[in-house]
Structure 1
Amino acid sequence: MLTEERRARILREIARRGKIEVTAFAETWGFSEMTIRRDLDALASEGLVRRVRGGAVPRREGAGLLPERGTTRGTLGLIVPDAGRHFSGVIRGAGEAARTAGYRLVVGSSLSSRAEESAQLARMLEAGIDGLLFAPAVGAAPEPLDWEQIRDLPVPVVIVEPAPLRLPTDLRADVVQTDHRHGARIAVEHLAANGYARVALFAPDPVTALTQQRGFRCAVAELALDADVPEVAFGRHGDAPPLSGSVTAFLRHCEEAAVHAAFVGSDEAAALMLLELQRAGSRVPDDFAIVVYGDDSAGLTGTPLSAVALPSLAVGARAAALCVQRLEQDLPASPAKLSLVPYLIARESSRATLARGREMLRVS
């Protein structure tokens, strides 16, 4: 790290905490105490800080070191498995919250690779981030996530969207996530309220599939719906056959089981399902009702799809805000866990219909 970067970090530390202790700061960031003392002496000679026993404080009592206009209080890093779909919203939300708090956000993608995930962590630390928002690469088997690497980070960490990973019980990090289980429940409840007593599940996304399945089964049991229905849930990357063939087989099973409604766990699968139903001459929702998970494109299809909208922007914003709080307010070490709730947008594809009791047209 360059001298200028190290001294800028020292100033940010004093701005946030009102002081800096040489021994603790040097140990946290891996510098020698002599190097930090020299930096503090240089900053004091420039009139930026006042040296005290064991460290330094702002030049004027209680003044702090707020950045000048056009500068930032610090930098937050955000690592995501990919920058598309759900995580594009997380990135936007985190970026806006960071800017509002006076911080810069830098984003890196792990490409759902453990090796790249580790490399991104190293790059961000080398670049001098002050806090980290970390969305683990889910399903990057066979390599497990190196939680020791996360534990040893010298900056506050907020874990973002870890499902379905099990977090270590001793991990001292905040967590912000979407309640995917609740999302499945509200989809089933909506279909049941519109008169569908037999609802199937098609969950092809390994990031959310198993959690959606738990919420689906819970709602079916609570509402006393028929449980003998088709369920598809792919829990790991690489487990799933081609999506198109899976959709065709699923619809065939629904036809055999006299099921006329489904909760579909991805917009890509829902689009294929619509196409397959149209080819078979089936109408949505008259012959088959659909609620899709995610609202990126659900309202733009030929038959607008009812959707469980994800709180992506809010997840990113809350994660960034929580990280800033850890940096600036010295919150207690006890970590927080926030689960943000999706909500349902009802459209044409799931409306109640008198035609739902008749046989669905055959899927070829």
Structure 2
Amino acid sequence: MIQPIQGAPARPPGQEPAQTANTIGEQPLSTMQRTVLERLVIRLIALTQQQSAEVWAGVKHDLGLKNDTPLLSRHFPAAEQNLNQRVETATQNHTTRQMVSQLTELLSQGNNRQAVSDFIRQQFGQTALSQLTPQQLKTVLTMLQNNQITIPQPQQRPSTERPLLPAEHNSLNQAVIKLTAATGESGKLIWQSMLELSGVKSGELIPAKHFTPLMTWLQARQTLSTHPAPTLHVIQTALKQPLDNNEMRSITEYAQQTWQATPQTVLTTAQVQDILNHVFLRRTERASGMIEVRDIQPIYSPFVAPIVETVKAISTRPGFFFIALLIVAFLFWLLS
């Protein structure tokens, strides 16, 4: 009778031996596994200037291992994935640094700095290269290298008219971001509307005198975007600087003539924006001293106007012509 081997448990024919405590997953990294990881570590060191020990320590930390714990065969998949992610991130950062370095060198030439500043503000609604995504940076660099960004010519401005300060521009940009979040509109299109309202030409900055009206315009648009039934009266309350009597009369007449709308009529989004544009233009024209002829009142108004109308009525009646002449003489005596 065949006896089992001494020390080995009996098992049915064809059954594999039971795994020992030192299973495959608990074995040290194989030569091939260690080679794969070491190549990734070398690539990461070249991209980040980190030390080898620092990289290995980081991998172990991410895997939840102590620094003095050796990597085992079962740790290989997670370690490889971790290093691949680190290499991918480092590659993107390295590429971004190279693009910024190239852009920085080009910005010092001619009017490139102003051209790029205008371009990223108008196209991406940003004011600094550090705020751009890698793809946006690549677009700017490629267009600048290919001379596809218009170089602005120096603009002549009155000595009393300065462009927006960086802090003012940043405040407007923050308000644009809030309006974009509230309405879903494109920040680029909002900036374009502001440039058009300000009458800014290509390559020219928004005048500082338009800062307050533009902030009022942006804040009012954001407030009114959530109102279910905006009317002229609602617009009045939404403006940080409310309409004065003349402005309210002008806007009411404009709404009546354009849409036959009364102060109580519920307005559409497009009508609200059109009225806000009208308010902005009226205020910036007034600030510039541009008064239309129809806004100029006669010198005798309002005190003498009723008397003049009375004279006109009397003068049409022959019996009172002499009285009319006396009244006219009296008026000349008052105004002399």
TM bucket normalised to smaller: under 0.3
What TM-score, normalized to structure 1?
Answer: 0.24
Structure with bigger RCO (C-alpha 8 Å, 6+ apart): 1
What TM-score, normalized to structure 2?
Answer: 0.25
* Greater helix fraction, Structure 1 or Structure 2: 2
* Greater strand fraction, Structure 1 or Structure 2: 1
